[in-house]
Every structure is written in C-alpha cells, then in structure tokens.
C-alpha cells in the first residue's frame, strides 16, 4: 500500500529570523511496507516537538552543527528530523512491531521511515498523555532536570533565577526548584505569562522583562541578597545582568541562548565578576544527562501523579502548520512546550 506523505522542508538556509517563505510543504509517495531483510521502521507520526535549536541546524553555518548528531546541519529540500511520538505501520526491526507506539527521531511530516541506528524505542505511556512524552517526560524535561540538579547542584534555600520561565524548559526548572526548596524568580514576555508563573506554577516572583529598562537593577530588586543559581535560556543582556547580581560561587547553567540565534547579539558578562565571585558558567545538552534518565522519569512521574508538577503544553494541529509554530518560538508566541499534532492517536 502507498500513501501520499506530506512533509516540511526548508527552501534555503535560514541565516536570521525564520519566515514562512523559508519553508515548503512537499508531497511524495511512500510505501507502507519494508523490504525483506530491511531493518527500517515505517511510522505514522502523531506528535512532533518544535524546538528553537533547530534554527541553528538550518543556518548555512553554525558551530553547533559539528557538536553532536542531533545538531547536524539541515540541507535545504531534504526532510527535517525532530523528537516525537509515532505509531508503527510496518517494521523490519525485531524490537518494535506494527501498531506499537514509539518515541524518537521522526520527521516534520505525516510519516517517517526510521533507519537502523537512529533513535527510536518502544513507548510505554505509563498512563500519561502521549504529548507528555514529547515534552515534560522527553528531552525538554531531561534538560530541565539534568541542568538544574546535575549542573547547578542546588542547595535548599538557595535563590534561583530562570529566564524564559514560561518556555518548555524554564517552566520545569522553576517547578523542580520550588519542590526542592529554593526561592525562585522567573522572567517572561507578557503579563499573562507572569501571572501563570506565580499563580499556577508557584514561582515566588516573576516579571515581564519587556517592561524593564535596566535589567541589572531589576534583578537587584528581586534578589537584594544576590542570585545563587541562574538557569539561562536566552543569553545576551539577561546573562550580563544575572552575572552582575550573582553571589560568590554562583552557578550559571546555559541551556540555550535564543536571543542570540536570530540577531547576532552576543553576551558580554563582566569577567571580573566571574573571576572574583568565582562564578561557574557551564553549557550543557540534555543528552549529557542520560545517566540520570531513570531518576528523572521516576521523580517527574511521581510529581505529575501527585499534582505537584504541571505540564504546560501549547499544541497546534496539522503538519502544514509546523513552520508557523516554529516561527512563533522566536516571538514568544508559545506558553510551555510547543508541539504539533500530526494525526489522531
């Protein structure tokens, strides 16, 4: 049996802010079978993750493209892979069978052919919605958990600042920090998001960075006794302001620098502060923390079941809407984890 598979490609490299004109919806015939002896797996995509780091893969050059397999450059006109949940249609892989739910690297499209060696594993939903396995129980969750507990090494009572705190990772960091016993302040880009952080997620304080003209003074106001931990998702001026307010032996976990992806801005923290306050600034990737994956799943699942953690999701339907969902990440359109629903479960 054959189907017409719709999928998204880039038409050119994207060296700046992404626009609709950079993307194209293509179609191609796809056989829903595998050849005898093949280890391929054909899947029907259900939910796909939409993440800012993909923009660096779309650029004509980014140093990130040679760092790890997940970040290799995307060739214009070719399929784009991303983390997601799918259902097996045909399998030459003995580890998964037809109709199994799977999670791993699938395509920005309606169907995917997953080759042997690519990330794909059978999924046990554990009673949770499938979307949770794209976000809070996926790599966004692991980035938050590993970044906060492994990189930041928090102590109870420490003061934590989270940027992009209503985003897919930031909202989880804030929740983990509060449950651990820290004082937590987050920043976001709208009044609605600020209210959500305080009223739904339990942040001690939150502010709209767009209303502030002097970020260093703003952080001094919210942290009169200094910041112990800064979880950075934006880079640029926010990193500079946080470093200026860090306590001695403060830790900065750099998860992302979304403000630097599109406009060429670069953070320039005062290195004398870094030296004399003995501040640690460390970048990391979610994949660095697979050693705590089982702890992450166990802890987070327990928090979800008891209602101590909330899953923030922003779901858009339709493969044709992947470009607009992706573009919206860079103007702050999303609240929580951005996911595109490709098909009904």
The values of phi and psi at residue 165, to 5°, are -75, -10
In the chain, DSSP assigns E strands to 2-10, 23-31, 41-49, 81-91, 101-107, 111-114, 120-122, 159-162, 183-188, 205-208, 227-232, 246-254, 280-283, 313-317, 337-341
- Give the span between the Cα atoms of 6 and 25, in whole angstroms: 7
Query: Which residues fall within 8 angstroms of residue 314, CB to CB, at 6 or more apart?
Result: 334, 335, 336, 337, 338, 339
Where does 181-252 have alpha helices with state H? 191-199, 215-222, 236-244
Report pLDDT for 183: 98
- Give the span between the Cα atoms of 145 and 251, in whole angstroms: 15
8 A C-beta contact, residue 101 and residue 130: yes
Report pLDDT for 330: 95
Report pLDDT for 275: 98
- Can you list the residues of the chain whose pLDDT is less than 50? none
- Give the span between the Cα atoms of 216 and 134, in whole angstroms: 35
Residues in the chain: 345
Token duo for residue 294: 């089982």
Crossing angle between the packed helical segments 215-222 and 236-244, to the nearest 10 degrees? 50
Token duo for residue 270: 């005062």
**First CA to last CA distance, the chain:** 21
Please report where in the chains the tokens 């500079």 appear, as a residue: 240
Task: For 194-227, write each residue's pLDDT tens digit.
Answer: 999 999 999 999 999 999 999 999 999 999 999 9
Could you say which DSSP state residue 326 is in? H
DSSP 135-151: TTTSHHHHHHHIIIIII
Long-range contacts of 122-128 (CB under 8 A, 24+ apart): 122/95, 122/96, 123/85, 125/101, 126/301, 128/301, 128/304
Token duo for residue 109: 């499209």
- Give the span between the Cα atoms of 131 and 168, in whole angstroms: 12
- Give the span between the Cα atoms of 198 and 193, in whole angstroms: 9
Task: For 172-188, write each residue's pLDDT tens digit.
Answer: 999 999 999 999 999 99
Strands 183-188 and 205-208: parallel
Q: Return the bridge partners of 205, or none.
A: 185
Where does 225-288 have alpha helices with state H? 236-244, 258-263, 271-276
């Amino acid at each position: 049996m054959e189907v017409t598979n719709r999928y998204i490609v880039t038409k050119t490299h994207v060296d700046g802010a992404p626009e609709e004109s950079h993307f194209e919806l293509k179609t191609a015939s796809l056989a829903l079978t595998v050849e005898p002896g093949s280890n391929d797996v054909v899947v029907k995509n259900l939910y796909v993750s939409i993440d800012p780091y993909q923009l660096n893969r779309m650029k004509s050059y980014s140093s990130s493209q040679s760092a790890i397999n997940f970040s290799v450059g995307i060739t214009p006109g070719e399929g784009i892979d991303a983390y997601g949940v799918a259902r097996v249609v045909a399998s030459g892989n003995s580890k998964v069978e037809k109709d199994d739910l799977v999670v791993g690297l699938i395509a920005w499209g309606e169907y995917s052919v997953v080759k042997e060696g690519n990330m794909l594993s059978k999924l046990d939903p554990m009673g949770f919605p499938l979307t949770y396995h794209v976000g809070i129980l996926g790599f966004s969750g692991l980035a938050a958990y590993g970044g906060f507990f492994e990189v930041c090494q928090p102590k109870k009572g420490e003061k934590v600042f989270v940027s992009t705190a209503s985003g897919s990772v930031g909202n989880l960091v804030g929740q983990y920090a509060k449950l651990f016993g820290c004082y937590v302040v987050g920043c976001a880009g709208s009044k609605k998001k600020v209210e959500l952080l305080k009223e739904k997620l339990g942040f001690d304080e939150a502010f709209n960075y767009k209303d502030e003209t002097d970020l260093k003074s703003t952080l001094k106001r919210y942290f009169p006794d200094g910041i112990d931990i800064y979880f950075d998702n934006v880079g640029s001026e926010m990193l500079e302001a946080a470093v200026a307010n860090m306590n001695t032996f403060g830790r900065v976990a750099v998860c992302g620098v979304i403000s630097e992806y599109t406009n060429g801005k670069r953070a320039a923290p005062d290195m004398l502060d870094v030296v004399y306050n003995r501040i640690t600034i460390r970048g990391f990737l979610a994949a660095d923390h697979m050693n705590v994956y089982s702890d992450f799943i166990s802890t987070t699942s327990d928090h979800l079941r008891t209602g101590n953690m909330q899953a923030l999701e922003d779901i858009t339907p339709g493969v044709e809407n992947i470009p607009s969902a992706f573009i919206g990440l860079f103007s702050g359109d999303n609240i929580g984890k951005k996911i595109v629903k490709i098909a009904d479960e």
